[in-house]
Structure 1
Amino acid sequence: MKEFLSDENIKFLYLDISENMLNLKTFLKYRDSAPEFEEIKKAGRVGLPCIVINNGEEIVFDKASLDIEELKK
């Protein structure tokens, strides 16, 4: 997804959860509390990659469901 967002000239902050504890904790905060992750957790999956938009306003797992033009604003 990182390459996809870059190719589309969309500004984003990339966090690698294996880089440090803060990044992992940030991801786990969303994963443990956001309803978008419920089905993923039930299936025993992690939920990565994902895109968190506007501090959790929306969480997207499939780039095909992104509104590219809206993200470019």
Structure 2
Amino acid sequence: MEAIKFYGAEICKDCRAAHPLLQEKGIGVEYIDITASTANLRAFLALRDQEPAFDKVKAEGRIGSPAFVFPDGSVTLGVEWLQGESGCRNC
């Protein structure tokens, strides 16, 4: 399976929690730290601006990380899908 894009930041507790869950499940990711560079932040903001999955978090004034983009282009926010509660269509 192609790697999942994982947009996050080390200052985010949910992002930090996602790393061991991904490793435990053997899921390959391309981690993109949105605080590491302007290019990473721009890529995240472009995704956030166009993807309806972010509508609720934007309305609540939140950032929307962690965000996961699956190989089929679907996007999910949060770590619930890693805990078996929803989400990953290809894992």
CA RMSD of aligned residues (A): 1.8
**1:67 Cα shift?**
3.6
The TM-score normalised by the length of structure 1 is 0.80
Structure 2: runs of 5 or more not aligned: 1-17
Question: Is 1:65 matched up with 2:89?
Answer: no
Judging changes above 3 Å, is the alpha-carbon distance between structure 1 residues 22 and 66 closer, same or farther for their aligned structure 2 residues?
A: same
Report the number of matched residues.
Answer: 69
- Could you tell me the percent identity over the aligned residues? 29
Secondary structure in 1 aligned to 2:69?
Answer: strand
Runs of 4+ in 1 over 2 A off after TM superposition: none
Determine the structure 2 residue equivalent to 1:24: 41
The TM-score normalised by the length of structure 2 is 0.66
Higher strand share goes to which structure?
Answer: 2
Higher relative contact order (CA 8 A, sep 6+): 2
